[in-house]
Amino acid sequence: MTTRTRREVLAGGGALAAAAAIGAGPAFGQAYPARPITLICPWAAGGGTDATARIVAAVLEKELKQPVNVVNRTGGSGVVGHAAIAAAPPDGYTLGIVTVEISMMHWQGLTELKPDSYTPLALMNEDPPGIQVNASSPYKTVKELADAIKASPHGSMKASGTGQGGIWHLALVGWLLAMGLKPDHVRWVPLNGAAPSMQDLAAGGLDLVTCSVPEARAIIEAGKARSLAVMAAERNPAFKDVPTLKEAMGIDYNSGAWRGFTAPKGLNPEIAKQLTAALQRVNQSKEFLDFMAARGFGVKWADAEGFAKFMDEGNKAMGVAMKAAGLAKG
Amino acid sequence: MSNLTQAFHLVLQTDVLLAILLASIYGLVVGSLPGLSATMAVALLVPITFYLSPIAAIATIISASAMAIFSGDIPGALLRIPGTPASAAYTDEAYAMTRKGQPELALGIGLWFSALGGIAGTLSLMLLAPPLADMALNFSTYENFWLAFLGLMCATLVARSSPVKAIASMLLGLLVSCIGIENPAGTPRFTFGVTDLFGGIEVIPALVGVFAVSEVMRAMMSAEPPKMPFRRFGSILKSQWTLTKQYVKPQVRGNIVGIIIGVLPGAGADMAAWVSYSMAKRFSKTPEKFGTGHPEGLIEAGASNNASLASGWVPALLFAIPGDTITAIAIGVLYMKGLNPGPTLFTEQASSMYALYIIFIIANIIMIPLGIIMIRVASRVLRAPRSAIMPVIVLMCAVGTFATGNNLFAVMTVAAFGVIGYVMERNGFPVAAMVLGIIMGTMVEQSLVTSLMKSDGSIIPFFNRPVAAVLAAMTIAALLWPVAAWGWRSMRVATR
Amino acid sequence: MQLSDRVTGLSLVALGGLAAYGGWRLPPFPGQEMGPEVFPMVVGISLALCGAMIAAGVGRSYEDEAEADLARISAEAEADGSTAASHHSKWWELRVLIPPALLLFYYFVVDRLGFLPTAAVIVLIASLALGARARLAIPLAICAPLVVNLIFLKLLRVPLPSGMLPLPWIGLP
């Protein structure tokens, strides 16, 4: 399929026509930004990405002294919204929040968009996966769980956290590969996200769940599940007792779901610099930090260059994991 | 007790009360517009909750969703265009009442029993949250499969048509739900290379298409029907008390079923209304009256869907597991406002929890006066010329479905399902059964395929887990019931 | 478009067969024994069976019963509709496609033309097609889009495309 559907070209054209109609004067004559900015979120209202987009938009509004409106462009499991960001005019008035899926969907042949289809602005958040088991399970440490996995017959243990080929599935694949096992040694049960997976874990239907610790928090606090480790370089300050994989079993494997801010490709470098600087101030603002702490989301910062490098490395790592798991096309 | 006084203090703030009132009006308006669902009303509120205090934010979500679920009945009863998927189950029944000249009775039932159901649901949330939540945590994919299967069996009961055609319609709905990449493999299925189909066909555009657009299409083919004889719109609440006393059993059953289905993740108000309407029909002494404008089914289903709305908050508040699409959004708002779901919410922030209960009760009480006003305003469409109402409905269908995801593809979906719905209706296929198939499709497939994956292809866990065994027995009993009833009847006839 | 049960039944058999075949042809699912093909195959085969039963006339008696009941309630309206249809040319039947066609019109032009003009055209055509006089249709075509625009923009905060007619004072950029 071609990247841009006819509709997006039309949409882009419509926006351009609108810009021309109200008189392009202020956009060029005055300093950027001269009018409201649209921030496209490829996921539905009420979710974690939507909330992150909205808090950033609220603080960014104060920084740029122009309204920043979040528009949810859903559909196609994120493909439609990500395409809409890439297809918007690169004038600095349409930005987008991009998620880890952008480094995964193209390997599956769902889209031709890749991380380098955008002008990267800033990385704001990353949540590493944890390894959760049922509260009544016999495994007290991640080492015991790993030994049990190694001893178990191929495919007899079951795990979940999201759908097939989702970020938490690849976290499990990466961990299994790091232990020298086959990527499907533990069978992945595709469920509709972290909450249903944690529920199934509590109902006794699964052996482990690899979703982020904040997503598992409520059930852990209810005493129905336990988190054994996080696949991150450092512990999560909100869950100090949960060790990293490296501490617990010496495996240096990190992964995570991230969210960053981008603009369409071809954005004026001056405007890009201005936006990155503003986003850095957002990243350090008390409002943003308080919000992220309340939700248990991990705060991360990388400027445009760092974000581009981060996405590139993540993209390659995803390619390796997805090919190993047989999830990549071609 | 100090928690309770503190809770009243939290609720009796100007901003909270104002939020309840405005969100209620908003919910009533949005729910009554064809093409706009309760879920969407809540989703569109999220940006606004950002600027509110925590209690006011939760109050807007609770009030707007309760009102929208009720007012989804209004266009259903007046124009045969259900406002929300929950109303689709009994739209034909309510519309039949309107045609018999009793629109105020049909809408009054919706209003009165929704409010009572909402209060019953709230009581369950207040008194039974921990045991209900434990019950929800016993539901693995095996139990979900039986539940979804039971839900699908309602298809044959909701429409007055050939059961074979009803099942075929339901299967068509299941087939529609196969489209997209939301399947166990996460691979594109029946998408034909169209990016917009990756996310699948959503329920709302399909619902709007098969009901609203096909209704306008039918209007194109028939002359304007003679105006109903002009008469005063009767009292809305007058006969409700009599009905409450007359139909105690269906009402209580509706409340209980609603509460249970609401608590179970993945089902929610949509399914509650279907199950309750079918149960009312199955256990009724006069099932032949169903579909001709009979109050019994409306009472049970109306009681059920608002009860499920409140009990859906139980797993959301205790475990951050959404009971339906509305609580999925509510969980996001709870986190955003620092009211992190979990058992600590009930202990450390008990006053906030009490405040939440109080808001639920207030919302269900003010639903009655506000609902009456809304019904009176809305019923004017019965007197307006059809050539003025129908064009506006076409417009609302286009804009309303577009609004959820700012995606024009939804408008295309509405048009396509309009044609599908029209052809189906003309040939005696009940479109409501197809909507049921689309609602339940993902849950049926997910629970079936993932269960088989977990059990390595064995069907034993479908029967040997305690809750699953009970549900399996119920399903089999429901399947065998018509056969047994038929056998029983023919035996009695024979002995006579 | 009323078809005989034989035709609808057989088309369902064909659709069910196609769905089952389409499901069967889906690529295998890495690391799993069953995957995306199971459900469409089950549904497709069941649909084909239902279609065959419909074509064979199973369940027809229920329908006659239901139709008789319904006819009792809605005798006049139905009769009106059918007599109106009978004395028109066969092109008249195509009127039924006006509503979906208007929606497609919206899909294709709203971004270029803008919401207000597109909506006005839709309301005008639909209203005239339903037999309204110009005295009703034209004011309606002007007012309804403005009201809908107001509801969506102000109450629901949904941005609608402004296209060729930007009206900043009512919120269109």
Q: Does residue A290 register a pLDDT over 80?
A: yes
CATH number at residue A229: 3.40.190.10
**How far is the alpha carbon of C31 from chain A, nearest alpha carbon, in Å?**
6
| Separation of CA B125 from chain center | 19
Nearest to B67 by CA among B305, B298, B336: B305
| Separation of CA B197 from chain center | 25
pLDDT per residue over B408-420, tens digit each? Answer: 888 999 999 999 9
B232 lies in some domain: no
Q: In Å, what is the CA distance from A123 to each residue of A97, A274, B414, C13? A: 10, 15, 38, 53
B319 lies in some domain: yes
A236 lies in some domain: yes
Nearest to B429 by CA among B176, B178, B156: B156
Could you tell me if C124 and C103 lie in one domain?
Answer: yes
Q: How confident is the model at residue A308 (pLDDT cuts 50, 70, 90)?
A: very high
Sheet holding A257-264, edge to edge: A68-72, A37-41, A94-99, A257-264, A118-127, A299-302
Q: Hey, is the C-beta of C154 within 8 angstroms of any chain A C-beta?
A: no
Structure confidence at residue B227 (pLDDT)? 63
Could you tell me if C111 and C150 lie in one domain?
Answer: yes
Structure confidence at residue B284 (pLDDT)? 86
Q: Hey, is the C-beta of B414 within 8 angstroms of any chain C C-beta?
A: yes
Could you tell me if C64 and C101 lie in one domain?
Answer: no
Q: Does residue B54 register a pLDDT over 60?
A: yes
pLDDT per residue over B272-284, tens digit each? Answer: 888 999 889 888 8
Domain range for B284 is 2-223+238-464
Q: How confident is the model at residue B291 (pLDDT cuts 50, 70, 90)?
A: confident
Q: In Å, what is the CA distance from B205 to each residue of B166, B409, B435, C111? A: 21, 10, 11, 20
Q: Tokens 């959404």 identify what position? A: B322
**Which 3-state string (H, E, C) describes B164-190?**
HHHHHHHHHHHHHHCCECCCCCCCCEC
B436 lies in some domain: yes
Looking at the structure of chain B, the number of domains it has is: 1
Nearest to B43 among A45, A48, A163 (CB): A45
Tokens of C60: 């027809």
Measured N-to-C along each axis, helices B14-32 and B350-378 cross at an angle, to the nearest 10 degrees, of 40
B476 lies in some domain: no
Structure confidence at residue C14 (pLDDT)? 94
Q: Tokens 């609220």 identify what position? A: A58
Structure confidence at residue A25 (pLDDT)? 37
Could you tell me if C107 and C145 lie in one domain?
Answer: yes
Q: Does residue B434 register a pLDDT over 90?
A: yes
Tokens of B381: 């469409």
Residues from chain C contacting residue A327 (CB–CB below 8 Å): 30
Q: Tokens 């019904």 identify what position? A: B375
**How far is the alpha carbon of A308 from chain B, nearest alpha carbon, in Å?**
26
Look at strands A257-264 and A94-99 and give their pairing: antiparallel
- Asked which of A226-235, B242-251, C155-164 is least confident by mean pLDDT, the reply is C155-164
Q: Please judge whether B195 and A5 are an interchain contact, meaning their C-beta atoms are less than 8 angstroms apart.
A: yes
- A160-199 burial code (b ≥16 CB/10 A, e <16): bbbbbbbbbbbbbbbbbbeeebebbbbbbbbbbbbbbbbb
Q: Which amino acid is at B267?
A: A
Cβ C115 vs Cβ C172: under 8 Å: yes
DSSP notation for B369-426: HHHHHHHHHHGGGGTS-HHHHHHHHHHHHHHHHHHHHT-THHHHHHHHHHHHHHHHHH
B177 lies in some domain: yes
Percent of chain B with pLDDT over 90: 26
pLDDT per residue over A31-85, tens digit each? Answer: 888 888 889 999 877 778 888 998 899 899 999 988 888 888 877 678 888 988 9
Q: How far apart are CA B294 and CA B289, in angstroms?
A: 6
Q: Phi first, then psi: what are they for A90, rounded to 5°? A: -80, 60
**How far is the alpha carbon of A81 from chain B, nearest alpha carbon, in Å?**
9
Looking at C27, C53, C86, the residue that finishes a domain is C86
Helix, strand or coil, per DSSP, at residue B222: coil
Query: Which residue(s) pair with A285 in the sheet?
Result: none
Helix, strand or coil, per DSSP, at residue A208: strand
Structure confidence at residue A151 (pLDDT)? 94
What average pLDDT does range C19-30 have in this prediction? Answer: 82
DSSP designation for A297: P
Could you tell me if C81 and C104 lie in one domain?
Answer: no
Helix, strand or coil, per DSSP, at residue B68: helix
Q: Which amino acid is at A307?
A: F
A330 lies in some domain: no
DSSP notation for A97-126: EEEGGGGTTTTTTS-S--GGGEEEEEEEEE
Looking at A249, A274, A290, the residue that finishes a domain is A249
| Separation of CA B276 from chain center | 11
pLDDT per residue over B341-357, tens digit each? Answer: 887 788 788 888 899 99
Could you tell me if A21 and A103 lie in one domain?
Answer: yes
Largest CA-CA distance found in chain C, in angstroms, rounded: 67
Cα-based torsion angle of the residue sequence B38, B39, B45, B47 in order, rounded to the nearest 10 degrees? -170
Q: Which amino acid is at B307?
A: A
Q: Find all residues with CB under 8 Å of B368, minimum gap 6, and list them.
A: B111, B112, B115, B237
Residues from chain C contacting residue B422 (CB–CB below 8 Å): 1, 96
Residues from chain C contacting residue A20 (CB–CB below 8 Å): none
Helix, strand or coil, per DSSP, at residue B106: helix
Looking at the structure of chain C, the number of domains it has is: 2
Nearest to C34 among B399, B411, B452 (CB): B452
Could you tell me if C105 and C82 lie in one domain?
Answer: no
Looking at the structure of chain A, the number of domains it has is: 2
Q: How far apart are CA C23 and CA C39, in angstroms?
A: 8
Q: Which amino acid is at A122?
A: A
Structure confidence at residue A192 (pLDDT)? 78
Q: How far apart are CA A13 and CA A18, in angstroms?
A: 9
Could you tell me if C138 and C165 lie in one domain?
Answer: yes
B443 lies in some domain: yes
Q: Phi first, then psi: what are they for A230, rounded to 5°? A: -115, 145
Pick from B20-24, B142-146, B472-476, C83-87 the range whose average pLDDT is largest.
B20-24
Q: Please judge whether B332 and A47 are an interchain contact, meaning their C-beta atoms are less than 8 angstroms apart.
A: yes
Tokens of B439: 């609602």
Nearest CA in chain B to A44: B405
pLDDT per residue over B6-51, tens digit each? Answer: 889 888 888 999 999 999 999 998 888 877 778 888 888 887 887 8
Nearest to B198 among A79, A156, A222 (CB): A79
Q: Does residue B366 register a pLDDT over 50?
A: yes
**How far is the alpha carbon of C151 from chain A, nearest alpha carbon, in Å?**
17
Residues from chain C contacting residue B187 (CB–CB below 8 Å): 26-27, 29, 36
Q: Does residue A122 register a pLDDT over 70?
A: yes
What average pLDDT does range A276-294 have in this prediction? Answer: 92
Query: Which residue(s) pair with A126 in the sheet?
Result: A258
Could you tell me if A110 and A157 lie in one domain?
Answer: no
Q: How far apart are CA A283 and CA B383, in angstroms?
A: 57
Domain range for A181 is 130-249
Pick from A11-15, B267-271, B272-276, C103-107 the range whose average pLDDT is largest.
C103-107
CATH number at residue A103: 3.40.190.150
Query: Which residue(s) pair with B293 in the sheet?
Result: none
Nearest to B404 by CA among B463, B313, B325: B325
H/E segment holding residue B490? helix B466-495
Could you tell me if A19 and A101 lie in one domain?
Answer: yes
B294 lies in some domain: yes
Q: Hey, is the C-beta of B220 within 8 angstroms of any chain C C-beta?
A: yes
Q: Tokens 């790592």 identify what position? A: A317
Could you tell me if C20 and C80 lie in one domain?
Answer: yes
What average pLDDT does range C157-172 have in this prediction? Answer: 63
Structure confidence at residue B169 (pLDDT)? 94
Nearest CA in chain A to C111: A14
What average pLDDT does range B78-107 have in this prediction? Answer: 87
Structure confidence at residue B193 (pLDDT)? 80
Structure confidence at residue B123 (pLDDT)? 93
pLDDT per residue over A136-185, tens digit each? Answer: 999 999 999 999 999 999 989 999 988 888 889 999 998 999 899 998 89
What average pLDDT does range C140-159 have in this prediction? Answer: 84
Structure confidence at residue A29 (pLDDT)? 45
Structure confidence at residue B83 (pLDDT)? 81
Q: How far apart are CA C24 and CA A23, in angstroms?
A: 56
Q: Does residue A11 register a pLDDT over 70?
A: no
Q: Tokens 């459900």 identify what position? A: C39
Could you tell me if C31 and C78 lie in one domain?
Answer: yes
B308 lies in some domain: yes
Q: How far apart are CA B413 and CA B49, in angstroms?
A: 30
Q: Does residue B490 register a pLDDT over 80?
A: no
Pick from B262-271, C57-66, C154-163 the range whose average pLDDT is largest.
B262-271
Q: Phi first, then psi: what are they for B155, rounded to 5°? A: -55, -40
Domain range for C36 is 5-86
Structure confidence at residue B33 (pLDDT)? 83
Residues from chain B contacting residue C2 (CB–CB below 8 Å): 426-427
Q: Find all residues with CB under 8 Å of A12, minimum gap 6, and list them.
A: A87, A88, A89
Look at strands A68-72 and A37-41 and give their pairing: parallel
Cβ A283 vs Cβ A182: under 8 Å: no
Q: Does residue A14 register a pLDDT over 60?
A: no
Q: Please judge whether C38 and B406 are an interchain contact, meaning their C-beta atoms are less than 8 angstroms apart.
A: no
Q: Please judge whether C110 and B423 are an interchain contact, meaning their C-beta atoms are less than 8 angstroms apart.
A: no
Q: Please judge whether A164 and B320 are an interchain contact, meaning their C-beta atoms are less than 8 angstroms apart.
A: no
Structure confidence at residue A17 (pLDDT)? 41
